[in-house]
Structure 1
């Protein structure tokens, strides 16, 4: 099953196994579930991008970072899900060596990018709530655009370090990836060399890009809570707490399961079966992109007002078209 390049002792392709315990009769159900998940996530995030492109009224720092998150989520699911759907729909398990390395890099890239975007979003909310009078000067569209570009560029650095390492390590035969896509942990298990340094470097990098931003996010939310408690308006306090609580849940879903998956090999009492590890990975990878459009957009007053305006405008056009159609019918 493995195709080995004799010159470089490196396999030319990998095979994505997926859930080891999943029976073939359930493959079609899983494929349909993943397909619906992909389409729903894609449409939900594209709606935000389209609304932002068409409505100049929301060209504001908060929406710039929301659109950045939506584009990142679209990129992530597009890199990860189509091949996974093909694996369960057509039993297409093979993925080329270079394609697998590219997928691994992009999956960890978008993971790093989302962490930086969530950090930027938290800092934006901190400035807006704790320094409302200075906020328009501190956070302009140009400032947020610059921060967004910085996030998209810097996010390549963290997975790029391990990407270079994977190019030079030998893969000598085993090529079955016990995962739903190519990632660092799955590829490290197939390296036929001492990977102690690579493993330590990958873990340290993952912890840095995940938990340094998380620490800053927790600090900003602590400051926000202190500021909100000092508000005189009960309604404003409830609204701010509601928004922060919802976002905190999404942030927790993004960060906490990753800690258990990445740290399981380093804690003897923290054991995870391959199926449990993959289920956890799917949850924290695909659930936030699915719900982000609803959390950050459809609960937003300005976005809902834009949808209401579009709907009312469409209702106003439809009767006119219907009258015209009826008139033409009666003439003929």
Structure 2
């Protein structure tokens, strides 16, 4: 552990994966770059499809639009620095930059939790109250709700980061993580308030995770009950076209996080490298996989893309004919 004999830390040092041998720095940096490109290109593609395909200007796809923005922003906030760590050995990040990254990491993650709640409520109303759905769930209502989720969460997370800034950071500046997050940074704090700041952050994290999850589980259980009451053909169509993509996306976000919290509650501890790998997996797999789920598991998007492709083939055929 590196110690600095000054009272104010001017910068932090990002370790990445502490146990990774230097021979693997090149391959890991390339892998992270490919993941970054997949996140940015995949989610930018989804944003463009929903933006320019008028048949997708519906509440459900507006929710997908907000999720894709969050996924792309998360990749942009977290990955460039860790890629630089392994590509150019650029491990130093300034104090202000670290706290700024921490802010966006937690604000984007918490926003995604709320957007997933909106997604579950959208499906709940669509299946239980199909005749009232067009009047209740409108494009304007969804846009306002999702925007409020962003605004409220970003304000709330500003308080979390400012609370962490009240701690003095005395003589340790090694962050054993791939990016600056609240746990990794505040454990470097000193003084008698460290435990209190961590406790407040833990309560905030549990509320961010468990309150939306409770409503999401209720919504999806209600949807399953409604689906089981339908005829086989109608049930099959409902599950594939309106339910399966949302449940996949929700599970990708919540299942790994709940596993980590449950393991911690049961007293199971991971090694430092295992903890970092698990954190990176549940942070980065959803932004990579979600665009594929949108494209291959969502009927309207598949049909819109196929129609675009067919129209392009026809125009090329006549253009060369």
TM-score (norm 2): 0.93
Deviates more, 1:167-176 or 1:254-263: 254-263
Q: Provide the C-alpha distance between the structure 2 equivalents of 1:151 and 1:92, rounded to a whole number of angstroms.
A: 35
Are the counterparts in 2 of residues 52 and 63 from structure 1 also a CA contact under 8 Å?
yes
The counterpart of 1:27, out of the listed 25, 28, 36, is 25
Q: CA deviation at 1:303?
A: 1.4
Larger RCO of the pair (alpha carbons < 8 Å, separation 6+): 2
Q: Provide the C-alpha distance between the structure 2 equivalents of 1:82 and 1:117, rounded to a whole number of angstroms.
A: 25
Matched, 1:113 2:111: yes
Q: CA deviation at 1:222?
A: 0.8
Runs of 5+ unmatched residues, structure 1? 324-332
| SS of residue in 2 equivalent to 1:22 | coil
Q: Partner of 2:133 in structure 1?
A: 135
Q: Provide the C-alpha distance between the structure 2 equivalents of 1:219 and 1:247, rounded to a whole number of angstroms.
A: 14
Q: CA deviation at 1:319?
A: 3.7
Deviates more, 1:163-172 or 1:23-32: 163-172
Q: Provide the C-alpha distance between the structure 2 equivalents of 1:136 and 1:98, rounded to a whole number of angstroms.
A: 46
Q: CA deviation at 1:231?
A: 0.9
Q: Partner of 1:122 in structure 2?
A: 120
- For the pair shown, the structure with the greater C-alpha radius of gyration is 1
Q: CA deviation at 1:230?
A: 1.1
With over 3 angstroms needed to count, the CA separation of the structure-2 counterparts of 1:249 and 1:60, relative to structure 1, is closer
Q: Provide the C-alpha distance between the structure 1 equivalents of 2:220 and 2:264, rounded to a whole number of angstroms.
A: 31
Are the counterparts in 1 of residues 294 and 301 from structure 2 also a CA contact under 8 Å?
no
Q: Partner of 1:291 in structure 2?
A: 289
Q: CA deviation at 1:299?
A: 2.1
Q: CA deviation at 1:252?
A: 2.8
| SS of residue in 1 equivalent to 2:93 | strand
Q: CA deviation at 1:166?
A: 2.0
Matched, 1:83 2:92: no
With over 3 angstroms needed to count, the CA separation of the structure-2 counterparts of 1:310 and 1:255, relative to structure 1, is same
Q: Partner of 1:278 in structure 2?
A: 276
With over 3 angstroms needed to count, the CA separation of the structure-2 counterparts of 1:265 and 1:228, relative to structure 1, is closer
Q: CA deviation at 1:301?
A: 2.1
TM-score (norm 1): 0.90
Q: Provide the C-alpha distance between the structure 2 equivalents of 1:133 and 1:246, rounded to a whole number of angstroms.
A: 22
Q: Partner of 1:151 in structure 2?
A: 149
Number of matched pairs: 318
Q: CA deviation at 1:250?
A: 3.4
Q: Provide the C-alpha distance between the structure 1 equivalents of 2:126 and 2:105, rounded to a whole number of angstroms.
A: 31
With over 3 angstroms needed to count, the CA separation of the structure-2 counterparts of 1:314 and 1:230, relative to structure 1, is same
Deviates more, 1:196-205 or 1:162-171: 162-171
Q: Provide the C-alpha distance between the structure 1 equivalents of 2:97 and 2:254, rounded to a whole number of angstroms.
A: 27
The counterpart of 1:61, out of the listed 59, 63, 74, is 59
Are the counterparts in 2 of residues 113 and 152 from structure 1 also a CA contact under 8 Å?
yes
| SS of residue in 2 equivalent to 1:193 | coil
With over 3 angstroms needed to count, the CA separation of the structure-2 counterparts of 1:246 and 1:209, relative to structure 1, is same
Matched, 1:230 2:226: no
Q: Provide the C-alpha distance between the structure 1 equivalents of 2:54 and 2:209, rounded to a whole number of angstroms.
A: 34
Q: Partner of 1:96 in structure 2?
A: 94
Q: CA deviation at 1:293?
A: 1.2
Q: Provide the C-alpha distance between the structure 1 equivalents of 2:157 and 2:261, rounded to a whole number of angstroms.
A: 15
Q: Partner of 1:250 in structure 2?
A: 249
Deviations 1:64-96 (A, max 9, x none): 110000001011110001111111111110111
Q: Provide the C-alpha distance between the structure 1 equivalents of 2:259 and 2:190, rounded to a whole number of angstroms.
A: 26
Deviations 1:234-261 (A, max 9, x none): 1221233346355334323322322344
